[in-house]
Structure 1
Amino acid sequence: MLQEINDTNFNQLVILSKSNKPILVDFWAPWCAPCKSLSILLEEIYTNEYKKKALFFKLNVDDNPKYSDRYKIRSIPTMIFFKDGKKKDMHIGVATKEDIREKLNKLI
């Protein structure tokens, strides 16, 4: 299962991360059906392909308004791709494995 992050540890784990790996943050909510579909896909991709190459986190937008507002999350699911603490790319809505791979591979 992907690690859940929150408004308290987001800055430390994403912005100030010492990792040289790209970071994918999945902005989601428990009531969102498309979010559940994407979550299954992200789990699969992370476990089978990117565990050693990237970091994946989940942020519940209902419980964590600070970073949801900062990144202007208006529709979920939304994925933001970070590298070296900076937002590099974004995808709104459910994505295919190929879409996710393409965005991550540009940052690796």
Structure 2
Amino acid sequence: MIKHVTKSTYEAEVLKSSVPVVVDFWAAWCGPCRMQGTILEQLDKEISADQAKIVKVNVDEEGELAGTFGVQSIPTLLFYKDGKVVNKAVGVRDAAALKKTLGI
């Protein structure tokens, strides 16, 4: 299940995660974000909890958090491993590209 994270939950959910994490910075009014969201929801059903997890950050509600990570365009995906950003993608990515980036 995809969780929505905030500034207060980001450290626990992302930085201290024992599995790789995809962070989706998005907004409800963003058409490409909705497309990416559908792809991420499908991917979330295909991967197991010990492979990776997917979380979302609403940039309208968490502008400070988005600014901390230099998010200027959405959707932006940050890929974390061991608490560090290992890859970044701006724009819609298909499931195959996401799996490749995650090494799944």
Q: TM-score, normalised by structure 1?
A: 0.89
Q: How far, CA to CA, are the matches of 2:31 and 2:20 in structure 1?
A: 26
Corresponding residue for residue 14 of structure 1: 14
Structure 1 residue 33, shift from structure 2 partner: 0.7
Corresponding residue for residue 4 of structure 1: 4
**Pair 1:72 & 2:65 matched:** no
Quick one: percent identity of the two aligned structures? 33
Q: Considering only aligned residues, what root-mean-square deviation do their CA atoms show, in Å?
A: 1.4
Q: How far, CA to CA, are the matches of 1:54 and 1:38 in structure 2?
A: 17
Q: Structure 1 residues 34, 45: CA separation in 2 closer, same or farther (over 3 Å shift)?
A: same
What is the identity, as a one-letter code, of the residue corresponding to 1:71? F
- Structure 1 stretches of 5 or more lacking a match? none
**Pair 1:95 & 2:98 matched:** no
Q: TM-score, normalised by structure 2?
A: 0.92
Q: Do the aligned residues in 2 keep the contact of 1:25 with 1:81 (CA within 8 Å)?
A: yes
**Pair 1:26 & 2:33 matched:** no
Structure 1 residue 49, shift from structure 2 partner: 2.9
Identify the range of structure 1 (4-13 vs 33-42) with the bigger mean alpha-carbon deviation. 4-13
